[in-house]
Chain A
Amino acid sequence: MTVLPELRVEVTPTFIVSTALATRDFQDVHHDRDRAIARGSKDIFLNILTTTGLVQRFVTDWAGPGALVRGVSIRLGVPCYAYDTLVFSGRAVSTSDGVTTVEVVGRNSMGDHVTGTVRVVLP
């Protein structure tokens, strides 16, 4: 069982906004603080497509450019608001038929933002 190197992401407002736009997600809660608060959130927060992308990045940072990601399954927990820090940790738990399963957790100051698994063919 291999433990992956930790990935820390400083979730600045710029990060939330730029990733939301790069994933073509224009919902106001991801870029407009006033609207986000009016809708009951503390601040703008990370969108799901970015969370999925970060989980994938966390694994490929470790596995390298030759890896083939076969699937990303995530369960969403607490939101990740601006000014928080998101820390990913993970471990490769098994390999079968050439596909390695990596368990991933992304935590912030409020708790588990994301838990999930990534299936990846290592080079």
Chain B
Amino acid sequence: MITDEAERIAALGPSPRRPARDAVNPAMINNWTEALGDGNSAYPELAPPAMVQVWTMRGLHPAAEEHDPLAAMSAVLDEAGYTSVVATNCEQTYHRYLRPGEHVSVSSVLDAVVGPKRTALGEGWFVTTRSTWFVGDEPVAEMLFRILKFKPGNKSTASALQPTVSRDTEFFWQGTKLGELRVQRCSACGVVRHPPGPMCPRCNALDPGYVVATGLGEVFSYVVHHHPPVPGRELPYVVALVELSEGVRMLGELVGVPPDEVRVGLPVRVGFRPVGEFVLPVWEAR
């Protein structure tokens, strides 16, 4: 089905050339160099070559595009449940630099659709398109662009289990919302501790503070969960018990690493994943 549709779309060949809204112009070049901090004095007499795609961007209110092979293939994959997208490769070749006043148009063709592949993000298909920019009939630049359309690993964050928060633990969950991994630290004796609690088990002080952890650690142990189904998660997935460099251990899902490549001792760093109203810490390989 997906392969059939891919062949059909590929067989349509290059899309009709779609003209840029504006001719190459110094105002947009200057906006670009200003934003990117590019002080190259060759601009704006010449356009930065990496701007080639900018000229034909479809803008704030894009019209429906019936001839765009990437849009067509994305719709097919959306329909099949591969609703998430991430770009993986972009290879641009510039035959020459553009000058203000030149008017480019672009044409794209579906090059390849490969899948289904099991990736770190979930099962997905790699979709590759090739685009060519023209001035008149002269090709001035080309681009290979590859995306991964995938079924998100976190199927429904709405139904996923969310933490229960107490007065003793709310600092932790406030931290994750800010992208901080907070580890409880006794303000009296300085001992760090996870999971947190109201009283320091070493000195019995009732003065818990926290430190923002580096988020760096190593896998101390891990499991690969296959069964039974877990709300909000696609199987299988990896949960790792990580020993942080601060000296405490913490559980979290290990994302982006195929299960058979996980091992005790794997260096990881923290990432953050929103689930409902909360943000959970997750581990990523580093």
Contacts and interface: CB of A to CB of B under 8 A. Distances in A.
B60 interface: yes
Contacts of A50: 35-36
Contacts of A65: 40-42
B152 interface: yes
Instruction: Please classify how large the interface on chain B is, using the bins under 10, 10 to 19, 20 to 34, 35 or more.
Output: 35 or more
Contacts of A110: 269, 271, 284
A69 B273 contact: no
B63 to A, nearest CB: 14
Contacts of B272: 42
Contacts of B42: 65-66
Contacts of B53: 23, 49, 52
A73 B90 contact: yes
B274 A37 contact: yes
Contacts of B35: 15, 18-19, 21-23, 50
B87 A23 contact: no
B59 interface: yes
Contacts of A71: 91-94
Interface string B263-276: 00000010111100
A26 B36 contact: no
Given A50-B36, A53-B36, A24 B90 contact: no
Dominant SS among interface residues on chain B: mixed
Nearest to B273: A40
Contacts of B92: 52, 71-73
A111 interface: yes
Given A75-B88, A76-B90, A23 B37 contact: no
Contacts of B273: 40
Interface of B: 28, 31-32, 34-42, 48-51, 53-54, 57, 59-60, 86-94, 97, 152, 154, 157, 179, 269, 271-274, 279, 284, 286
Interface of A: 9, 15, 18-19, 21-26, 37-38, 40, 42-43, 48-50, 52-57, 60-61, 65-66, 68-76, 78, 81, 83, 109-111
